[in-house]
A and B are shown apart, each in its own frame.
Chain A
Amino acid sequence: MRASTVDLVADTARAAAGRRTMAWTAAGLATAATVAGGWLAPPDAVQGSAQRLMYLHVPAAWVGYAAFAVVLAASGAYLLGGDLRWDRFARAGAEIGVVLTAVAIATGSLWGHLVWGTWWAWDPRLVSTALLLLAYAGYLALRRALGERTDGRDGDDHRVARPAALVGMAGFLLVPVVHFSVVWWRSLHQQATVFAPQRPPIDSRMALALLLAVAAATLAALCVLLHRVVRLERRLAADTPRTAERVPARVG
């Protein structure tokens, strides 16, 4: 029973069942990741148990990047095809990305306090991540401001969607800056382990816990994304459409 993404965002009982299955799978993965990260994986030789924060921090950061990639792809698809459904995907992606980036900063701050000895440092990785958070919070603020100014409905109006798509795509330029900040500049933050050209050693139980945590976070974020788009569309359908610009939203 394979359902494509487009089927899963439909407001039907079958799609809702598919989304529920996904949510339960994500919950199962999250449980496995908690067991693996909390007990199975050993404490780190240098950092002790504080290193377990990695299993929250790294998935939050990576899935945050992925959420901003959704903004990039959906904004591009909207600009090319003019389908407002992609605009709603972009909005939901940005919301998820902002929350996850905030989680990455918060868990990183605690990790830094425990291991580096400081909650915050004016270091390239930390500052660029804060800028990324600001950029997409600004993107969401822009959407809201445009919606109020044009009296259009966010998610159903080209006057909001078009400028938002341009800003959302431009914001993605910061993602590689954040990722490579530890390579381009001197940083307090350690360099990548998993995505390093010559992979530095990581204990296999730690790697397994990290893999499970990333899988759980990815699937959970996908669930939230679909749920958010369905809710947005339900809300838009409940109001009588004021603009005549509605494009048939069904794709495929």
Chain B
Amino acid sequence: MNRRRTGRTAVVVVLLAAGALLVTGALRGTLTYYRTPGEVLRDPDAARDRVRLGGEVVPGSLRRDGDLVVFRLAEGGQAITVEQRGGPPGTFREGEGAVVEGTLSADGTFRADHVVVRHGNEYRPSTAPVEPVDAR
């Protein structure tokens, strides 16, 4: 009886450990949800595969080039130029955070096809009636 119990406990422990391993393995992409420009510039080869890049949209860097939206993402003094194909969400604007998904090309631009806005935790009343968003 006691022996059976020990065996069963061992099986449960092994299963739990295996489950934990699987979960942490699967969550590796989750735990570093995005890379910073500094990390991508330091290790450009890692960004040849699809990665997420996050930072602040540099004020004054946003422009539209036909189908492309071009801007610079910066964090900690380093910045990367992003060429985003397809319109960003309506809340996307300069000075706010953004996370893009794509690959770093050989010329140093980051070609992205997916962008999400990463806003802060400060809440202020809008001064003007909500401005129509220019980014579409």
Where the two chains meet, the residues of A that have a C-beta atom closer than 8 Å to any C-beta of B are 42-51, 54, 114-118, 121-124, 127, 185-188, 190-193, 196, 200-203, 205-206
Size bracket of the B interface: 20 to 34
Residue from A44, A50, A192, A196 within 8 A of B125 (CB atoms): A44
Which residues of the partner chain A approach B18 to less than 8 Å between Cβ atoms? none
Where the two chains meet, the residues of B that have a C-beta atom closer than 8 Å to any C-beta of A are 27, 29-34, 54, 88-93, 96, 99, 115-127, 130
Q: Given A43-B130, A116-B89, A185-B33, do A201 and B123 touch, yes or no (CB 8 Å)?
A: yes
A29 to chain B, nearest CB (A): 21
Q: Given A124-B30, A127-B27, A188-B33, do A193 and B89 touch, yes or no (CB 8 Å)?
A: no
Which residues of the partner chain A approach B32 to less than 8 Å between Cβ atoms? 185-186
State whether A196 touches B121 (Cβ < 8 A). yes
How many Å lie between the Cα of A202 and that of B120 in the bound state? Answer: 11
A113 to chain B, nearest CB (A): 9
> Nearest residue in A to B130 (C-beta to C-beta)?
A48
How many Å lie between the Cα of A50 and that of B5 in the bound state? Answer: 54
A-B contact pairs, 26 of them (CB 8 A): A43-B126, A46-B91, A46-B93, A46-B119, A46-B120, A46-B124, A47-B119, A115-B89, A115-B91, A116-B89, A116-B117, A116-B118, A117-B88, A117-B90, A117-B116, A121-B33, A123-B33, A124-B30, A127-B27, A185-B31, A186-B33, A186-B54, A193-B122, A193-B123, A206-B123, A206-B125
Residue from A114, A115, A118, A202 within 8 A of B122 (CB atoms): A202
Which residues of the partner chain B approach A114 to less than 8 Å between Cβ atoms? 91
State whether A122 touches B116 (Cβ < 8 A). no
How many Å lie between the Cα of A47 and that of B117 in the bound state? Answer: 10
State whether B117 touches A117 (Cβ < 8 A). yes
Which residues of the partner chain A approach B126 to less than 8 Å between Cβ atoms? 42-45, 48
Residue from B99, B117, B130 within 8 A of A115 (CB atoms): B117
Output the residue of A50, A117, A193, A203 with the most chain B CB within 10 A. A117
> Nearest residue in B to A201 (C-beta to C-beta)?
B122
> Nearest residue in B to A118 (C-beta to C-beta)?
B116
> Nearest residue in B to A194 (C-beta to C-beta)?
B121
How many Å lie between the Cα of A191 and that of B92 in the bound state? Answer: 19
Q: Given A44-B125, A45-B124, do A187 and B33 touch, yes or no (CB 8 Å)?
A: yes
B93 to chain A, nearest CB (A): 8
How many Å lie between the Cα of A45 and that of B125 in the bound state? Answer: 5
How many Å lie between the Cα of A89 and that of B103 in the bound state? Answer: 52
